[in-house]
Structure 1
């Protein structure tokens, strides 16, 4: 996706605040893109199985029972810097 130039940029510290605990938003990062997963019941309270929101989950995705295609239903709201 080449919309990176138009998307806001967030640091890991800013991403960490969107963990479902500190702020109402629930965000995760995969491959440098930040997704808003707040609407997903699977991310309720910032936790999805053994994974916590507010962080880069690129490495964890390798062991997931699904591909990154599941992220297509969520809005990309920023870029992780």
Structure 2
């Protein structure tokens, strides 16, 4: 993963399904492309919005973090 691009929170925020065509979310420091997911259409998944870090919000989700294994890691968040 050393060649994985790094993105800022501002760059992630633009991939919210509204400002740019990509729909990205961050979890545990990794950024996932969820653009093709039917559950993330228009950048919203239930009460969660794309373009942000969802690490804390996963606690309230009815699924585990294994759901992220379905999606491609496209980068990591710059801390």
Same fold (TM over 0.5): yes
In the TM superposition, structure 1's runs of 4+ consecutive aligned residues that sit over 6 Å from their partners are none
Cα RMSD of the aligned pairs, angstroms, is 0.4
Give the equivalent residue in structure 2 for 1:62: 59
Q: TM-score, normalised by structure 2?
A: 0.97
- Per-residue CA shift, 1:12-69, capped at 9, x if unaligned? 0000000000000000000000000000000000000000000000000111100010
Gapped regions of structure 1 (runs ≥ 5): none
Aligned residues: 78
Q: TM-score, normalised by structure 1?
A: 0.95
Distance 1:50 1:63 in 2: 11
1:36 to 33, 37, 44: 33
